[in-house]
Each structure stands twice: as C-alpha cells, then as structure tokens.
Amino acid sequence: MAAAAATQKSATLQVPRRPAMLRRKTRESFQAQTSIHRVRKNKEEGTIIGVHSLFLGIAVTTSDSGILEIGFATHDGTYSNDFAVWALTGHDSLSSSADARGEALAKHLVAEIQKYREKHLCKFLGCGVSGKLVDLAPQLPSKLWLELDIVPFVFRKEEPNHYVMKTRGGSMTVDEEADSMARTCLAHFGPNNQPRLTIGYRNEVEVDCSGSARLTSRKNYQDTVSNATWAATLKYARSLSEKRVRIAFFNSTPQGGGVALMRHALVRFLQRLQVDCRWYVPRPKPEVFRITKNNHNILQGVADPKLRLTEDQVGQLDSWCEQNAERYWAQGDGPLSHPSAGGAHIVIIDDPQMPKLVEIAKKEDPNRPVIFRSHIQVRGDLADKEGSPTSEVWNWVWERVKQADLFISHPVREFIPNNVDFDKVGYMPATTDWLDGLNKEMGHWDMQYYIREFEMERFKIRSKQLAYPVRPYIVQIARFDPAKGIPDVLASYAKFRRDYAKEMDIKDIPQLVIAGHGAIDDPDATIIYDQTLSLLEEEYPDVIEDVVVMRIGPTDQILNGLLSCAHVALQLSTREGFEVKVSEALHKGIPIIATKAGGIPLQVQDGKSGFLVEPGDSDAVAKHLYALFTDQQLYEEMSNYAHSHVSDEVSTVGNALCWLYLADRLYAGEKLKPRSRWINDMAREHAHHPYEDWETRLPRSDKLKLVHDSKSTDETNGIASVIDSDSNAAHVAVKVEEAA
C-alpha cells in the first residue's frame, strides 16, 4: 500500500514548468579565438580596448519533433569568420504561451550574443535575422536594438534583396542561411559602418531601409507615454488605417536637421501602427541650399542686414519646387496628384524652404487638406516691419502658403507674423524619439565603445583630448550655426574657469565639449566651426587645452554617449525655434543651463530641472556651473526632477497623436480652426482623454493667444480653461467641454 501510495504521489507531482529553450545542444561551436593578452589588458584597464566591428546573421529551422536549429554566422565586412549551430528543444511545450516562448527564445539569444561579444571583444553593428525566426520570437529585433545596440534587419527568403543561394542539393542548411543573413545585412551598411540612407522611387525617403531595419515594437512605444496619450493615439491610428488614408510629408532634406530626425521617427512609428504615411524630399541642389540657409538666417534675424532675397533667387526657389513636383510628385499616382488618381489625401509641407508646394498641391485638388508647418524661429516683429529683409522673405513664404488649411507653429507667440490668418494657427512643439540612437539608454559596454569612437575621431583631427572618466565635462550638443550661441558657451566656460575654478583640484575641473551633426542643407556649419576654433585661439588660450570642438558624422550613438556621460548640459542659443535637445538632456536626468530663447523656456523649470538665463549672460552661466559642480544635493535634486518631468508632448508618440488627429478630422471633412490652441490638447479632448491636472505638460499661457477678445474666442472653441500665464509649472489644469 505504501509503495502504491508513493507511486500515486510521484505521479501527481508536477515538474516545475520552465520557459522553453533552456535545453540546448551545441552541434557546431564557435571557433574564433581572441588574444589572451588583449583580454587581460581589458581587465586591467577596466574598459574596452581594441574592439573590432562585426556583423551577425541568425536563422532557424524546425523539425516535426519540435527541435529548433539555430544558426549563427559572423562577418567582418570582408568575409565570414565564425559560425555555430545549436539545437534547442522544448519549444513546442504546452507549458507556456506562444508569447512567453518567443520572449524566452529572444532573451536566450540576446544573452548568448552578449557573452560572445564580451569574450571576443567585438561590437556587432548589424544583424540579419530570418523572418521565420522573427515569427517565433517577435521581440528579438527590438531587443537587439535596445539592449545590445545592434541594428536588426529582418529578411524573408521571398524578398528580392535576400541573397538566396541556390544549391543542387535543395534548400540551404541553417548555417548557410545565417551566413546569407549576415551578408544581406552588410549590404545595407555604407562605408562609415552606418545603415545606408535610401531614397527610392519618386524621391521617397525609405525609412529604415523600407522597414527592413526593425528597431522597435509597438510595445516599446507604449511604454514611453501615459495610458491616455497611447489610447488617444491608437484611436486615430485605427481610424486612418481602416479608411486607408494616405498621408504625405514634404521637406528639403532627409538627414542632419531636426525635421529629418522627427520624420524618421514618425514614419517608423506609424509603420508599426499600419498607417500609410510617406515622406518625400526634393533632388538636392547646392546653389538652392545656399539661398535657403540665407533665408533661414534672415527669418531668425541673425543675417547681415545687407543680405536680401532677390527676384532671381525667388525664381530659383520656385522653379526648384516646380521641377521636383513635375518630375516626381504630380504625375501618375504621385503624392501631389489628385487623390482619385492615387495621390495623398492629406499633404503636409514641413519646410519654409518649399512653400510653393502648397500652391501646387491645391492646384491639383483644391479641396484636399494641406497643412503648412513653420518649424523655425520667425522674428515676427521684423516680419511685420515693411521693407525689412525679414518681411521680404516672410512675404515670399506667406504668399505661397496662405492657401493651406492649417498653419502649425512652435508654441511661441513671437514666431507668428501679423499677416497670418490667426484662425488657422495651432501650436505643436518639436519632438524627439526616446528609442532612437540619440536617446535610447545604452549599456556600459556600448557607452564605452562610442566614447572610444569619439576619441578616435578626435585623434584623427588632432583635437584636444577628452579626459573622461578621470575628469567630468560640460557639453553643448548643437549644429554649428550662428544662432546656437557658441561664442557665449566659450565665454561662459572661460568665466567659470577664471573666476570660480581657480582653487579646484584639476581632477574636479570639468572640460568643455562642443559637438554636433551637420545638415545636408547647411553650408554655414564649416564657417561657424572655423570661427569657433579661431575664437578659442585668440580669446581663450588659457582654457584651450580643455575645450574639445568636434563635428560628428552621422552616428547618433556618439552624441547619445556624449550627452549621457556629461555632468551638465548647456544650450545657450541666441535665437531658437524649440531645440528639443533641451528635453533630451532632461530626460537623461542631466541638469541644463539654457537661454530664454524661443521654445526653450517651455521645457525647463527654472531652479528645478535646470537654470534659465538671458542670452549672452555668461556671468549667470558661470555662477550656475559652479553651483552644479560644488553642491551635490542641488545636483541630485535637480537631476531627479529633470528626469521625471518631461512631457509626452515632446515624444514621437505625442507628435504622432497630433498629426493623426489632424489627418483624421480633416479627412472626415471637418474645417478645423485651432485659433491658437495646442493641437495636443485638441487631440486628447476629441478622443475623450483630456489632460488630468497631475499630468506633466508644457506650460500653457495666455500670451500665446493670437486674438484680443479672449472671452469670445473661448466661447467659439467651447473651452473653459484655467491658465496661469506667468507660471513655469510643467502642467496646468484644463477643463474642456466637448463641442457638440
């Protein structure tokens, strides 16, 4: 009886249900060797040294018995140099759901790749993953990007860009397919080991290599915003997707500037939501870019007063738009063609360099909604002054965009000239992407790798050495532009060193880093860069050895690493649109000292998340630098507050919410009249998710109202609001009655 009872008891005992893929058999192991001297040197130094770049391919086959064969292949850019094959059992176990099995498989592969790179002192830049493996582990691509900083490309055998190897014996073995994945991935990288920027048919920007690079998932984006913002965004996305609404964005360049960064992020996100959104750029023309940069400086009020927009230049700019439209966009089913012929239902011109496109879009279909976004600072006071250079440029822009249904501006009253139709004006801030290379959180291994890459680039041009981590540093990350206040950055740092840091230990005295990308359409960058170096030599020889000035190539993670490791960030612009780099620093918990220029004050809570100063006030900057380097309690409180008080409005999802709301309502036939309201507020309210008073928001202000009779305007919009116009608070209480 006892034996029977024991047998019965053992029969009812449950083996703990573990995640699948914990049982592995190595059929072919990695063979590559790493120098033991290099490994020892890395351990002694406590940092990564001599890391070499590789590419990776992963593929999978399955058997009827539930065994997965996973093939790995590594490639050094010239030829394959290592491979392995593993057999994993238990994948078809009933002990877990398909999602849980996929998560377990993804985690297992990520852990093994991490072990390999640390053992072999390598950095995987890209990884080709078979579509079949992604079907089994959908989370794998985004994990590769967010956890290991590997650009994941997903390829399927039936796709034309997949290098399928035909063999007499039939299909490829799993290691052959993994090698094919690695080689196909490598083909998408350029000579600087960055994914190629691809411009396709009709000059459409093929974001993430037409979606082959799978950096993110919907869940990743959902985790970056509040539930209310996410729910409102999905409401409009579903509506547009179901109606198959086509949205087309136009601007002048696909790389380098803030608009391009925002657009890559937006299109990437909308691909995950299955919204048909496309982005087009004109054929580049250097002589036009010189004119448009001059116009940019004139509108900001930073150009030589003698500089004017001539009739000949107006002709060149208009002709440039007309030629591109005729050649690429207004023929056949091009995006500017009539929607009935396959053109876009909603057209968005996101660039004052191409205002003529508004007229062209309206000519093709007068009833099609067209939105114009004014994304730069416009000196409204100068634009309103008849005969000024700014008024001449602005009037050229306005005459071509006044047919647009909506005029979207940064939330700064001074940016809107008085000849604009105020009923059409809505506010939308610039945004950034918390999941892209500029902002994602990187591990220690990757952070060290990019700081080393920065040091290598610095050494090539014999710039000054960055002594981090032995010494802290201050950073300003911005384009080399006349409005970015770089001379004030140098003056403030010199003032800090001369007046406050004389008695500090050298290891505690911070260095200064000034770095930024260049934009395709910005011919001023080299001029400003040279002027910065000359100013250092002539005015600040006593601090020149501790100032690192660098123009960085198109590697976002280097700028990410520089900002993440900085002790304090600066943004001392003299003129500014919005400059979302401020929010990027705050999101990382880095206190910032910034000027009261453009939309910067909307992002910084003075004395809480950073300090605001007047443009050119180097004395105040030096004083605040001293406080942040000597008062540890102040620094920690400011850092914690900064990280936890960044609004959804400056994120990719917040940006998408605005555009999706506008597209959905305009496509439905509504004649929207924002009348100087924030588009984000309108979108949340219409989706029945109005802001709660505890949510972090950019401050709303009565000063933004473009109408003088506030009472009648509020009644027209159906709004009852409580706004403190002088508050720096990041949120306000707003109660909205939904318009019938």
DSSP letter string, 28-77:
E-------HHHHHHHHHHTS--S-EEEEEEEEEEE-TTS-EEEEEEEE-S
Judge if 397 and 456 occupy the same domain.
Answer: no
Q: Rounded to an integer, what distance in angstroms lies between the CA atom of residue 129 and that of residue 60? A: 9
pLDDT at 709: 44
Residue 732 pLDDT level (bands cut at 50, 70, 90): very low
647, 664, 679 - which closes a domain = 647
Whether 187 is covered by a domain: the verdict is yes
Judge if 317 and 282 occupy the same domain.
Answer: yes
Quick count: other Cβ atoms within 10 Å of Cβ 552?
17
Whether 706 is covered by a domain: the verdict is no
pLDDT at 40: 66
What pLDDT, in 10s, does the model give residues 245-266? Answer: 999 999 999 987 789 999 999 9
DSSP class of residue 112 equals H
Judge if 384 and 261 occupy the same domain.
Answer: yes
What is the average pLDDT value for the chain, to the nearest integer?
Answer: 87
Q: What is the mean pLDDT of residues 41-69?
A: 80
- For residues 296 and 684, the model is more confident at 684
Instruction: Give kind and range of the element (H or E) at residue 442.
Output: none
CATH number of the domain that residue 565 is part of? 3.40.50.2000
Judge if 467 and 565 occupy the same domain.
Answer: yes
Residue 267's Cβ-count burial label (10 Å; 0-12, 13-18, 19+) is: buried
The distance of Cα 345 from the centroid of its chain, to the nearest Å, equals 26
Whether 253 is covered by a domain: the verdict is yes
Closest by CA to 376, choosing from 209, 578, 515, is 578
Q: How many domains does the chain contain in total?
A: 3
Whether 346 is covered by a domain: the verdict is yes
Range from 21-30, 555-564, 677-686 that averages highest in pLDDT = 677-686
DSSP letter string, 134-187:
HHH-TTHHHHHHHHH--EEEEE-TTSTTS-PPPBTTBSPPHHHHHHHHHHHHHT
- Retrieve residue 690's tokens: 């109005």
| Beta-strand relationship, 122-130 and 246-250 | unpaired
Judge if 572 and 625 occupy the same domain.
Answer: yes
pLDDT at 66: 74
647, 677, 700 - which closes a domain = 647
Is a pLDDT exceeding 80 seen at residue 426? yes
pLDDT at 25: 59
**Strand, coil or helix: what is 194?**
coil
Q: Which segment of 225-239, 326-340, 483-497, 707-721 scores lowest on mean pLDDT?
A: 707-721
Whether 688 is covered by a domain: the verdict is no
Residue 711 pLDDT level (bands cut at 50, 70, 90): very low
CATH number of the domain that residue 96 is part of? 3.30.420
Judge if 328 and 380 occupy the same domain.
Answer: yes
Residue 340's Cβ-count burial label (10 Å; 0-12, 13-18, 19+) is: exposed
Structural domain including 594 reads 444-647
Is a pLDDT exceeding 50 seen at residue 161? no
Judge if 123 and 238 occupy the same domain.
Answer: no
Whether 453 is covered by a domain: the verdict is yes
Is-contact 405 657, C-beta < 8 A? Answer: no
Whether 329 is covered by a domain: the verdict is yes
The upper half-sphere exposure of residue 484, i.e. CA atoms within 13 Å in the direction of its Cβ, equals: 21
pLDDT at 248: 98
Judge if 511 and 390 occupy the same domain.
Answer: no
Is a pLDDT exceeding 50 seen at residue 305? yes
Q: Rounded to an integer, what distance in angstroms lies between the CA atom of residue 690 and that of residue 693? A: 10
Judge if 89 and 183 occupy the same domain.
Answer: yes
Q: What is the mean pLDDT of residues 445-449?
A: 90
pLDDT at 601: 96
Judge if 36 and 142 occupy the same domain.
Answer: yes
Closest by CA to 195, choosing from 79, 100, 55, 16, is 55
Judge if 406 and 453 occupy the same domain.
Answer: no
Residue 274 pLDDT level (bands cut at 50, 70, 90): very high
Judge if 411 and 320 occupy the same domain.
Answer: yes
- Retrieve residue 91's tokens: 């994948």
pLDDT at 107: 94
Q: What is the mean pLDDT of residues 129-149?
A: 97
Whether 598 is covered by a domain: the verdict is yes
Quick count: other Cβ atoms within 10 Å of Cβ 219?
11
595, 625, 647 - which closes a domain = 647
pLDDT at 481: 87
| Amino acid letter, 163 | Y
pLDDT at 99: 87
CA distances from 168 to 165, 171, 177, 185, 189 (A): 10, 8, 15, 25, 31
